[in-house]
Amino acid sequence: MKTKSLIAAALLAAGVISAQAASYTVYLTGSTAFRGIIYSTLTSPGTVLNSPSVLPSGTGSGAGSVVFEGTLVGSGDSYTIVASWTGSEAGIASTVGTTISQSLPLDPNGAGPYNLPGAPVTGFLAPPYTSATTFSSGIAPDLTMADTSQAVSLTKSPALTPFGIVGIVTFEWLKGKNSAPDSSWTDLNNVTHPQILFALAGTQPASFFTGKAADSDVVAVVGRNKGSGTRVNCLLDDAYGVNTAVDQYAANSSYPGATPGALTFGAIGMAVFTEVGNDGFDSGSGVANSLQCDLNGTGGLLIGYAGLSDASTAIAGGAKALTLNGVAESNGAIEYGEYSYWGHENMYGSVTLNPGVNAFANALKTGIATYMTANGYGSVAANQDIAIPTAAMHATKTGDTGYPFPD
């Protein structure tokens, strides 16, 4: 046996025979704001995976659950990456193996508290991955994407395996649709950090934002729940306090009895506001949908925060972007420190990782940078890209907090 092993090793070294390829399944969760970049990176042939395929068939970049298959570039090992995007904070908590508790006193189906959906991940898509509704439960994530670091998260320990910052994730403030704008809607085009501090704590008159006494509409914030990195970045950007309760609202939304604790959007149409307190949506799509509801005649005005992909959806449906401290969101404004609402996109692995997951994580980190650079992310100052390569930045933040400053 020893002689045969030595012969095999010699033949392997000489390239006469090949090492047997391994197969790995990697469970990936985390940021909904960054999932579009992950999708594009993993479906770009030769970037991370050779000849990648996506399941279920027809699944797009905005899906909450998706499966990627292919061989890892440079190794030939076969990979199945099962992704469930539940939010950055939910992803960190789930990868640690804990929950995020949310008290929901405004839920008519019960007083709570509930564990937020996604922490832990309630289910990854199950083999053979042909259906978007067939799930396997009780599976812990191997990797998670997070819009901020674990150091400022709701789940600071035990320490996950850090793979570092893979890019900059971008966000924007918006106001909701109004088909017959009144003066309150027309005059509100900018929000400042001090104004946001008060708006997050409770409704404010539009005059508080516009400085015009006649603007009497009630302004309410629509946003995300505690599982969201978009929310954490918002609270950090405004120095509000990550653990400080907010008072948020939603349009045309409810808590179905069948899914306690899950705020569910109904349908785009005339807006009916619901106070949800410290809760919010699992995904930015709920914020985008609420902002597309028509505010005409309600006497109310929704403002909301979202990643750039969801913001674009909301704007296409009638919402309008707001400037922050007088500055419009753009690649250039972020890269040179003029616009502050953005986050460092981190990748974390579970506390212990097998070699296959570790190899994939390193390939994905490199692949994200390669994909964004090759496709010009951040290269046009006036554009609004959903993410920016770290190499394009000329400003930084101390950790995840504070205002940007030149680096």
Q: What domains can you pick out in the chain, each with its CATH number?
A: 23-168+342-406 (no CATH), 172-335 (3.40.190.10)
Whether the Cβ atoms of residue 311 and residue 360 lie closer than 8 Å to each other: no
The per-residue pLDDT for 108 is 57
Report the DSSP beta bridge partners of residue 342.
170
Q: Is the dihedral of CA 85, 152, 171, 335 positive or negative?
A: negative
| Whether 293 contacts 251, CB under 8 Å | yes
Alpha-carbon distance 188 to 191, whole Å?
A: 8
Kindly tell me the burial class for residue 10, based on how many C-beta atoms sit within 10 Å of its own C-beta (0-12, 13-18, 19 or more): exposed
For the chain, 407 residues long, give each residue's pLDDT as a single digit of tens.
344 444 444 434 554 445 578 999 999 999 999 999 999 999 999 999 999 999 999 999 999 999 999 999 999 999 999 999 999 999 999 999 999 987 765 555 555 677 887 888 888 999 999 999 999 988 999 999 999 999 999 999 999 999 999 999 999 999 999 999 999 999 999 999 999 999 999 999 999 999 999 999 999 999 999 999 999 999 999 999 999 999 999 999 988 877 767 889 999 999 999 999 999 998 999 999 999 999 999 999 999 999 999 999 999 999 999 999 999 999 999 999 999 999 999 999 999 999 999 999 999 999 999 999 999 999 999 999 999 999 999 999 988 988 999 98
The residue ranges of DSSP E strands in 223-355, in sequence order, are: 248-251, 253-254, 264-265, 273-277, 300-307, 320-321, 323-324, 342-349
User: What is the pLDDT, as a whole number, of residue 372?
Assistant: 98
pLDDT of residue 75: 94
Q: Taking the model in full, what pTM does it have?
A: 0.92
